[in-house]
Amino acid sequence: MHDFAGKTAVITGAASGMGRSFANRFARAGMNVVMSDIEAPRLNEAVAEVAGHGTQVVGQVTDVADGAAIDELAERAFGEFSGVHVLCNNAGVGGMKGGPELINQANWEWVIGVNLWGVIHGHRAFLPRMIEQGEGHVINTASMAGHMPGHSAYTASKWAVVGITEGLYNQMHRDGTGIGVSCLCPGWIRTDIANSERNGPENAAPPALYEPTAGQEAAWQFVVDALEGGLEPDAVADMVHDAVLNDTFWIFTHLDFVAALADKHDSIMENRNPNPMGWLG
């Protein structure tokens, strides 16, 4: 896609972090923006900010895990604008803080509901009409966690997003649809993802009596510090904008993380066991 002005971007998880930066970036490029999020007050504030760029901006409270809510979002977006040209399936949660042995079924369902079903619903509700238009671009926010081992709902959801995004890319190109596809795999980005619990169901939390071990606390603090010292979300928004412009599939924010995948890929090519010390998970 080369012309952005007057076209429409739809972004999920747009009230905070990367989604909010994507909304600002596409509005600066002259696009109208449909911003959706599960958090109403923060969404309203973000809509007011993005509207400052002078294009048409609307907000819709949406739980991406709810297929009917995504259908409504698509109806509104296609109803109010001349089409949907950029779709960012971006809303995501990290899961509850707690050791893996305490991550209960409700936590798995919540994380997979938002991170994976959110993307699946986005494809289902938006793509047929985007294909009919013959022009557009889908950006799915996966993660470097989608390339690395880890026994968590987050890892499972992000591996799945990487897989279906590459599958979608193949399908869209083979069929000559005119729809570009990008898979965003961020490393550490300075957002509010460490506080994902704020949007989670109560039954996904660890038991009240749960006391994390010193090792678990240290691992958690490592993640919090890494996020705090991470890349600014606005820098990722520039990468996403350029990926749409240049029809780039992979968007990696941290090339040193990509280099760390070499040994894993070599172990597959050489049919040897993976190195269990190479990863946290």
Ligand X SMILES: NC(=O)c1ccc[n+]([C@@H]2O[C@H](COP(=O)([O-])OP(=O)(O)OC[C@H]3O[C@@H](n4cnc5c(N)ncnc54)[C@H](O)[C@@H]3O)[C@@H](O)[C@H]2O)c1
Question: Of 22, 81, 110, 154, which is the active-site residue?
Answer: 154
Least distance to ligand X, CB of residue 100, Å: 18
For residue 86, give the 3-state DSSP assignment.
strand
Q: Which of residues 230-259 bind ligand X (CB under 6 A)?
A: 230
Q: Which of residues 213-232 bind ligand X (CB under 6 A)?
A: 227, 230
Measure the CA–CA gap between 20 and 251, rounded to whole angstroms. 18
Q: Is 17 in the site for ligand X (CB under 6 A)?
A: yes
Sorted by sequence, the CB contacts under 8 Å of residue 185 that are 6+ apart come out as 142, 143, 144, 146, 147, 162, 250, 251, 252, 253
Q: Which of residues 56-85 bind ligand X (CB under 6 A)?
A: 62-65
CA angle 78, 170, 18 (to 5 degrees): 55
Q: Is 114 in the site for ligand X (CB under 6 A)?
A: yes
Q: Render 119-133 in DSSP notation, one character per residue.
A: HHHHHHHHHHHHHHH
Choice from 13, 95, 136, 180 touching ligand X (CB under 6 A) = 13
37 contacts 15 by C-beta, under 8 angstroms: yes
- Give the x/- contact pattern for ligand X in 136-175, rule: CB under 6 A: -----x-x--------------------------------
In order of 3, 20, 204, the CA distances from 173 in angstroms are 20, 29, 39
Considering the complex, state which of residue 111 and residue 127 has its C-beta at the smaller distance from ligand X.
111
In order of 97, 121, 152, 160, 204, the CA distances from 127 in angstroms are 34, 10, 29, 19, 32
Q: Which of residues 256-275 bind ligand X (CB under 6 A)?
A: none
Backbone angles phi, psi at 248, to 5 degrees: -100, 130
Considering the complex, state which of residue 88 and residue 177 has its C-beta at the smaller distance from ligand X.
88
* Residue 169 is a catalytic residue: no
Choice from 121, 186, 237, 251 touching ligand X (CB under 6 A) = 186
Total residues contacting ligand X by CB under 6 A comes to 31
Interface residues with ligand X (CB under 6 A)? 12-13, 15-19, 37-39, 62-65, 90-93, 114, 141, 143, 186, 188-189, 191-193, 196, 199, 227, 230
Give the catalytic positions in this structure: 154
